[in-house]
Amino acid sequence: MQPLKIAVLGSGKGSNFRSILNAILSGQLKARPVLAVSDVQGAGILTLAENLGVPTAEVKESKFRTRLSEEVECGLVSTLRASGAELVVLAGYMRVVKKPLLDAFPRRIINIHPSLLPAFPGLEAWRQAIEAGVTTTGCTVHFVDSGIDSGQIIAQSEVPVLPGDTPATLHARIQEAEHRIYPDVIKRFAAREIP
Ligand code: GRF
């Protein structure tokens, strides 16, 4: 089976991208990163990619903060198509995905979210968990649809909320789980197990 060609799209530091790259480099994940894209200039995800010779692209959007304008998103679709990506992996991408991208990659855009969805969608889910007083939270990998963290769930991993946790300590524990679960889910796509 050919390695699965993946494109990773993120706005932040890129620790999930790093865990995916580590799984690829150690031979556990049969995938090839063909593109890293960010809407934030100088984002960690771009530096990681550049260091490994993975092609990068920057999306420039000045009109909206929470989504891309249709024109810019159509440009992103062309860039992704040209890369040959078979799976679009969102890793800390802070914008809502709209129709042009959703239509171009049906059931082939996935996201990781730091809660057990449907609980705590949206921003700072770890802080929401602490404020709600739950004793268990976690992370979810899901298909991306037009809503906010509302697509079909593919996998989840539970994480305890411990006494004395701050938003930062809880987020760090959730991220450890993310770094295991995301490469594992991509493995299932690479094995062509997920229709
Ligand atoms: C993760 O916590 C993920 O769940 C959320 O954004 C964060 C990205 O972190 N969607 P990183 O950039 O991968 O370190």
- Please state, in angstroms and rounded to a whole number, the distance separating the CA atoms of residues 11 and 43: 6
Nearest CA to ligand 1 atom 2: 114
Q: What tokens were used for 98?
A: 């709209």
Neighbours of 92 (CB within 10 A): 23
The CA 2 to ligand 1 mean position distance, Å, reads 28
- 70 CA from centroid of ligand 1 (Å): 25
Ligand 1 atom with the smallest distance to the CA of 112 is 4
Q: Is the dihedral of CA 184, 39, 14, 78 positive or negative?
A: positive
- pLDDT tens-digit readout, 15-49: 999 999 999 999 999 999 999 999 999 999 999 99
Dist. CA 39 → ligand 1 center (Å):
14
Q: Residues of the chain whose pLDDT is less than 50?
A: none
Q: Write down the pLDDT at residue 85.
A: 98
- pLDDT score for 62: 85
* 171 has catalytic annotation: no
* Calpha distance 126→95 (Å, rounded): 18
Find how far residue 176's CA is from the centre of its chain.
14
Ligand 1 lined by 33 (C-beta under 6 Å) = no
Q: Token match 């094995």: residue?
A: 191
Q: How confident is the model over 66-85, as pLDDT tens digits?
A: 999 999 999 999 999 999 99
Which domains does the chain carry? 4-190 (3.40.50.170)
Closest CA relative to residue 89, chosen from 116, 112, 118: 112
